[in-house]
Amino acid sequence: MATLDLEPNSYSDAMSIALNALAPRARSRAELITHLKKRGIDEATADAVLDSLELQGLVNDLEFAKAWIESRQRQKKLSKRVISQELRVKGVSADIIDETISEVDEDAEYQMAYQLAERKYRSCSHLDPDVIYRRVHSVLARKGFDHSLTNRILREMGSM
């Protein structure tokens, strides 16, 4: 391993900052780089710390993306499209996003959207059909489901 000219306190401070940032939740490498730079850590030290954390398995963008997708679908019922955008904002590479998003089952996403629509339908079923349509459509749109899936679900629900 090459010896880097890093100040010992700078490296240990950067390591502490990174570990504290990882305590509440996993983060992407890009998020950590940004966080370290905001805290005044130079890029070489930040890279050295993150390389060390990657070797220890504490920073892994692929695992981060998989966990993020699972969490966002389970808790927020978000579509693949919205989750992809979130991962891009978090600095995850396009290759990793494509790989992890492709693992999401189309049928599972349909079921999630249908259950979400069904729940909304039940809460407003006493209203005018046009209002029901708008409310169910808007909840699916806010969660990022595309128009074809939304229209398919609304057609299927119309036969209820």
Checking 69-74 for CB contacts under 8 A at 24+ apart, the result is 69/100, 69/101, 69/104, 73/104, 73/109, 73/112
Query: Is 32 part of any domain?
Result: yes
Token duo for residue 125 = 């079923």
21 & 49 share domain: yes
Residue 38: alpha-carbon gap to chain centroid: 22
**pTM score:** 0.83
Amino acid at 32: L
- pLDDT over threshold 50, residue 3: no
- Domain assignment present for residue 118? The answer is yes
Q: Does any domain span residue 1?
A: no
Number of domains in the chain: 3
Q: With pLDDT > 70 as the criterion, what percentage of the chain qualifies? A: 93
Query: 90-136 pLDDT, tens per residue?
Result: 999 999 999 999 999 889 999 999 999 999 999 998 999 899 999 99
Would residue 71 count as lying in a domain? yes
**85, 51: one domain:** no
In angstroms, rounded to a whole number, what is the distance separating the alpha carbons of residues 122 and 103? Answer: 31
Q: Are residues 115 and 151 in the same domain?
A: yes
In this structure, the answer to whether residues 112 and 148 fall within a common structural domain is yes
Residue 52: inside a domain: yes
125 part of a folded domain: yes
55 and 34 together in one domain: yes
Q: How confident is the model at residue 160 (pLDDT cuts 50, 70, 90)?
A: low
Dump pLDDT digits (tens) for 28-63.
999 999 999 999 999 999 999 999 999 999 999 999
Residue 3 in domain: no
Domain enclosing residue 74, as ranges: 62-102
CA 27 to CA 92: how far, in whole Å?
Answer: 10
Q: What is the CATH number of the domain that holds 29?
A: 1.10.10
Q: 110 and 154 share a domain? A: yes
